[in-house]
Amino acid sequence: MKSYKELPSDAGSNIIGQVTAQVNRVQKRLASVKHTVAIMSGKGGVGKSSLTANLAAALTLKGNTVGVVDADINGPTLAKMMGVRNATLGYTPAGVKPAVTALGTKLISMDLLLAEDDAPVLWNAHTQKDAFTWRSTMEVSALREFIADTEWGSLDYLLLDLPPGTERLPNVVELVPDLGGVVVVTIPSEVSQLIVKKSVTMAKDVLNIPIIGVVENMAFYVCQHCGEEEPLFSAGEALDTAFQQVILGSVPFDPRLARSGDDGTLYLDEYPDAPASKALMQVAEKVQAFLKKSP
């Protein structure tokens, strides 16, 4: 397969010029962002989007200006979790105005662009069975537009909530070469860690992206009757051995956390003394400390 530069003619589309212009737009928009952080797991079902929503809230509560990109184009959930699913996006010559939560966190998500709850994301193609050929390219293009065309203003942190899959991070690094680091989310099961370790290897050894740390989600539950901590999963390989990285925190399972996500309410505000809230605030503090030390 030939690259764009090897093609004898682009039929007047100026494809190289278009791609270059898009890259320049992304860089210009990110110039007003201090730190860009990717949240990833590699495996679905570990609570990564919930962690992203609450990390964004925690950083905002600490006095930072925070933006969030729901990079899961086909399965967006953050608009509902952050309570802005009914928001109407505004448009100005400077770009699209993101949805803003009650706390002041800014968000852009494909869910804000879909007309109906059950509307799937469909890509233009001769037939939908042929759309898979260009699906990855079109998803990257959509993510590029989310970053470049959103009027973020000045941000202390821009969080990118990546969909499952080890191949997602290389796409983001291509768009955001100055990525400040990666937060990895897992649960205390050997199956989860088997997959998540592949994402860690991809980030650290292949792409040379700093690993900010690992969050162990649903690490345990607290008995409502006696207050004892009990494991939610069978004990697996120790996280510090499995990942050989700093542990940002172990967030206990709390059904109220899931309920807050369903209701679009702020868990950290409603239950500030809950063990999960304290763990999430600790994660935010460690992320801040890591990025403060980074060049």
Q: Express each pLDDT in 33-60 by its tens digit.
A: 999 999 998 788 899 999 999 999 999 9
Residue 37, domain member (yes or no)? yes
Are 251 and 280 contacting, i.e. CB atoms less than 8 angstroms apart? Answer: yes
Q: What is the pLDDT of residue 251?
A: 94
Biggest alpha carbon–alpha carbon distance for the chain: 74
Residue 1, domain member (yes or no)? no
Instruction: Give me the domain span that covers residue 114.
Output: 32-293
Residue 280 has pLDDT above 80, yes or no: yes
> Rounded CA gap, 39 and 291, in Å?
14
Residue 58 token pair? 């925690």
Residue 85, domain member (yes or no)? yes
Q: What percent of the chain has pLDDT over 90?
A: 45
Residue 195, domain member (yes or no)? yes
Strands 229-231 and 211-222: antiparallel
Q: What is the pLDDT of residue 129?
A: 56
Number of separate domains in the chain: 1
Q: Tokens 């050997």 map to which residue?
A: 190
Residue 275, domain member (yes or no)? yes
- CB within 8 A of 179, min separation 6: which ones? 36, 37, 38, 172, 173, 209
Q: How confident is the model at residue 255 (pLDDT cuts 50, 70, 90)?
A: very high
Q: What is the pLDDT of residue 63?
A: 96
Per-residue CA distances from 273 to 110, 150, 279 (Å): 33, 35, 10
Q: What is the CATH number of the domain that holds 36?
A: 3.40.50.300
Residue 5, domain member (yes or no)? no
> Can you state the angle between helices 168-175 and 132-148, rounded to 10 degrees?
40
DSSP 159: E
Rounded to two decimals, the pTM is 0.86
Residue 255, domain member (yes or no)? yes
Are 41 and 48 contacting, i.e. CB atoms less than 8 angstroms apart? Answer: yes
Residue 2, domain member (yes or no)? no
